[in-house]
Protein backbone atom coordinates (compact mmCIF):
# COMPACT_ATOMS: atom_id res chain seq x y z
CA UNK A 1 0.00 0.00 0.00
CA UNK A 2 1.09 3.54 -0.72
CA UNK A 3 2.31 5.71 2.11
CA UNK A 4 1.12 9.30 2.40
CA UNK A 5 4.17 11.18 1.13
CA UNK A 6 4.52 13.37 -1.93
CA UNK A 7 7.61 12.48 -3.96
CA UNK A 8 9.00 14.92 -6.50
CA UNK A 9 10.90 13.41 -9.40
CA UNK A 10 12.25 14.93 -12.60
CA UNK A 11 15.34 15.82 -14.55
CA UNK A 12 18.12 17.97 -13.10
CA UNK A 13 17.00 21.60 -13.04
CA UNK A 14 13.28 20.80 -13.14
CA UNK A 15 12.79 22.51 -9.76
CA UNK A 16 12.29 19.51 -7.44
CA UNK A 17 14.12 21.05 -4.49
CA UNK A 18 12.56 24.51 -4.68
CA UNK A 19 9.08 23.12 -5.36
CA UNK A 20 9.58 20.79 -2.38
CA UNK A 21 10.42 23.67 -0.05
CA UNK A 22 7.56 25.87 -1.26
CA UNK A 23 5.12 22.97 -1.08
CA UNK A 24 6.20 22.25 2.48
CA UNK A 25 5.28 25.82 3.47
CA UNK A 26 1.94 25.60 1.76
CA UNK A 27 0.94 22.18 3.10
CA UNK A 28 2.79 22.51 6.41
CA UNK A 29 4.54 19.25 5.84
CA UNK A 30 8.17 18.38 6.50
CA UNK A 31 10.36 18.27 3.40
CA UNK A 32 13.45 16.10 2.88
CA UNK A 33 15.80 16.06 -0.08
CA UNK A 34 17.65 12.82 -0.75
CA UNK A 35 20.68 14.49 -2.38
CA UNK A 36 21.11 16.73 0.64
CA UNK A 37 20.67 13.83 3.07
CA UNK A 38 23.32 11.85 1.22
CA UNK A 39 25.74 14.79 1.16
CA UNK A 40 25.23 15.41 4.85
CA UNK A 41 25.75 11.80 5.84
CA UNK A 42 28.78 11.36 3.62
CA UNK A 43 30.23 14.72 4.66
CA UNK A 44 31.00 15.61 1.05
CA UNK A 45 29.30 16.86 -2.09
CA UNK A 46 27.70 14.71 -4.77
CA UNK A 47 30.53 15.71 -7.12
CA UNK A 48 33.09 14.46 -4.61
CA UNK A 49 31.20 11.19 -4.13
CA UNK A 50 31.13 10.63 -7.92
CA UNK A 51 34.80 11.49 -8.22
CA UNK A 52 36.06 9.46 -5.28
CA UNK A 53 33.76 6.40 -5.35
CA UNK A 54 32.05 6.46 -8.75
CA UNK A 55 28.43 6.66 -9.82
CA UNK A 56 27.42 3.05 -8.87
CA UNK A 57 28.38 3.77 -5.25
CA UNK A 58 26.16 6.87 -5.26
CA UNK A 59 23.29 4.92 -6.85
CA UNK A 60 23.48 2.32 -4.09
CA UNK A 61 23.31 5.08 -1.46
CA UNK A 62 20.14 6.35 -3.17
CA UNK A 63 18.49 2.93 -3.11
CA UNK A 64 19.47 2.35 0.54
CA UNK A 65 18.02 5.72 1.46
CA UNK A 66 14.70 5.01 -0.28
CA UNK A 67 14.43 1.77 1.68
CA UNK A 68 15.10 3.63 4.89
CA UNK A 69 12.57 6.36 4.08
CA UNK A 70 9.86 3.75 3.50
CA UNK A 71 10.46 2.54 7.05
CA UNK A 72 10.56 5.89 8.81
CA UNK A 73 8.69 8.57 6.86
CA UNK A 74 5.01 9.39 6.41
CA UNK A 75 3.14 12.61 5.63
CA UNK A 76 6.24 14.31 4.20
CA UNK A 77 7.39 15.82 0.95
CA UNK A 78 10.46 14.21 -0.58
CA UNK A 79 12.53 15.49 -3.44
CA UNK A 80 14.89 12.93 -4.96
CA UNK A 81 17.86 13.13 -7.34
CA UNK A 82 17.19 13.34 -11.07
CA UNK A 83 18.57 9.84 -11.65
CA UNK A 84 16.71 8.05 -8.86
CA UNK A 85 13.81 6.66 -10.96
CA UNK A 86 16.23 5.30 -13.57
CA UNK A 87 17.31 2.30 -11.49
CA UNK A 88 14.57 -0.23 -11.98
CA UNK A 89 14.45 -1.39 -8.37
CA UNK A 90 13.90 2.20 -7.22
CA UNK A 91 10.63 2.66 -9.10
CA UNK A 92 8.47 0.41 -6.91
CA UNK A 93 10.15 1.95 -3.87
CA UNK A 94 9.13 5.44 -5.03
CA UNK A 95 5.61 4.20 -5.68
CA UNK A 96 5.40 2.68 -2.20
CA UNK A 97 6.57 5.93 -0.65
CA UNK A 98 3.52 7.82 -1.87
CA UNK A 99 2.17 10.02 -4.66
CA UNK A 100 4.88 10.47 -7.26
CA UNK A 101 4.83 13.84 -9.01
CA UNK A 102 6.95 14.15 -12.14
CA UNK A 103 8.09 17.69 -12.96
CA UNK A 104 8.58 17.32 -16.70
CA UNK A 105 10.75 19.88 -18.43
CA UNK A 106 12.08 20.49 -21.93
CA UNK A 107 15.82 19.93 -22.53
CA UNK A 108 16.26 23.50 -23.75
CA UNK A 109 14.85 24.89 -20.49
CA UNK A 110 17.22 22.69 -18.50
CA UNK A 111 20.13 23.95 -20.56
CA UNK A 112 19.19 27.57 -19.96
CA UNK A 113 18.74 27.01 -16.24
CA UNK A 114 21.90 24.99 -15.67
CA UNK A 115 24.48 26.38 -18.06
CA UNK A 116 27.56 27.23 -16.03
CA UNK A 117 26.48 24.96 -13.16
CA UNK A 118 29.37 22.86 -11.86
CA UNK A 119 27.53 20.82 -9.22
CA UNK A 120 26.10 18.16 -11.55
CA UNK A 121 28.86 15.68 -12.47
CA UNK A 122 26.77 14.12 -15.25
CA UNK A 123 26.59 17.43 -17.17
CA UNK A 124 30.25 18.41 -17.04
CA UNK A 125 31.29 17.23 -20.55
CA UNK A 126 32.07 19.25 -23.68
CA UNK A 127 28.53 19.39 -25.01
CA UNK A 128 26.06 19.73 -22.12
CA UNK A 129 23.19 20.65 -24.47
CA UNK A 130 23.46 17.33 -26.30
CA UNK A 131 24.11 15.45 -23.08
CA UNK A 132 20.90 16.82 -21.56
CA UNK A 133 18.93 15.84 -24.64
CA UNK A 134 20.17 12.25 -24.80
CA UNK A 135 20.03 11.66 -21.06
CA UNK A 136 16.47 12.92 -20.95
CA UNK A 137 15.48 10.75 -23.91
CA UNK A 138 17.00 7.70 -22.20
CA UNK A 139 15.12 8.46 -19.00
CA UNK A 140 11.72 9.41 -20.39
CA UNK A 141 10.06 6.01 -19.92
CA UNK A 142 11.47 5.55 -16.43
CA UNK A 143 10.07 8.89 -15.26
CA UNK A 144 6.69 8.46 -16.88
CA UNK A 145 6.20 4.87 -15.76
CA UNK A 146 6.37 5.67 -12.07
CA UNK A 147 4.53 9.00 -12.08
CA UNK A 148 1.05 9.43 -10.57
CA UNK A 149 0.95 13.02 -11.81
CA UNK A 150 2.90 14.69 -14.62
CA UNK A 151 3.31 18.45 -14.64
CA UNK A 152 4.85 20.23 -17.64
CA UNK A 153 6.70 22.95 -15.81
CA UNK A 154 8.26 25.01 -18.62
CA UNK A 155 5.52 27.59 -18.90
CA UNK A 156 4.27 27.49 -15.31
CA UNK A 157 5.20 29.69 -12.38
CA UNK A 158 5.72 28.30 -8.90
CA UNK A 159 2.16 28.99 -7.70
CA UNK A 160 0.65 27.17 -10.67
CA UNK A 161 2.85 24.14 -10.06
CA UNK A 162 1.90 24.09 -6.38
CA UNK A 163 -1.80 24.43 -7.25
CA UNK A 164 -1.66 21.39 -9.51
CA UNK A 165 0.11 19.28 -6.91
CA UNK A 166 -2.22 20.38 -4.15
CA UNK A 167 -5.25 19.53 -6.25
CA UNK A 168 -3.91 16.05 -6.92
CA UNK A 169 -3.02 15.39 -3.29
CA UNK A 170 -6.42 16.69 -2.19
CA UNK A 171 -8.14 14.28 -4.55
CA UNK A 172 -6.38 11.34 -2.96
CA UNK A 173 -7.75 12.02 0.49
C1 LIG B 1 21.59 13.30 -10.92
C2 LIG B 1 20.90 14.38 -10.42
C3 LIG B 1 21.35 15.16 -9.27
C4 LIG B 1 22.21 14.29 -8.34
C5 LIG B 1 23.33 13.67 -9.13
C6 LIG B 1 22.82 12.78 -10.27
C7 LIG B 1 21.07 12.59 -12.12
O8 LIG B 1 20.22 15.67 -8.54
O9 LIG B 1 21.45 13.31 -7.71
O10 LIG B 1 24.14 14.70 -9.63
O11 LIG B 1 21.51 11.47 -12.38
O12 LIG B 1 20.18 13.16 -12.80
P13 LIG B 1 19.30 16.91 -9.07
O14 LIG B 1 18.28 16.33 -9.98
O15 LIG B 1 18.69 17.43 -7.81
O16 LIG B 1 20.20 17.88 -9.73
pLDDT tens-digit profile of 100-128? 999 999 999 999 999 999 999 999 999 99
Nearest CA to ligand 1 atom 8: 81
Percent of the chain with pLDDT over 70: 98
Residue 173: is its pLDDT beyond 50? no
CA–CA separation, 10 vs 19, rounded Å? 11
pLDDT range class, residue 171, cuts 50, 70, 90? low
> Is the Cβ–Cβ distance between 158 and 22 less than 8 Å?
yes
Q: What are the pocket residues of ligand 1 if the criterion is a CB atom closer than 6 Å to any ligand atom?
A: 12, 16, 35, 46, 81-83, 120-122
Q: How far apart are the first and last CA of the chain?
A: 14
User: Nearest to residue 137, comparing CAs of 95, 91, 104?
Assistant: 104
Amino acid sequence: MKKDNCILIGFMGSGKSSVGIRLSYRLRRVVEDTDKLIEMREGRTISEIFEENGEPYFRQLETNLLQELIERVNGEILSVGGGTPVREENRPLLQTLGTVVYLRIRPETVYERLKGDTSRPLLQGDNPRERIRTLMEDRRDAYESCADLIIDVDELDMEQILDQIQEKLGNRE
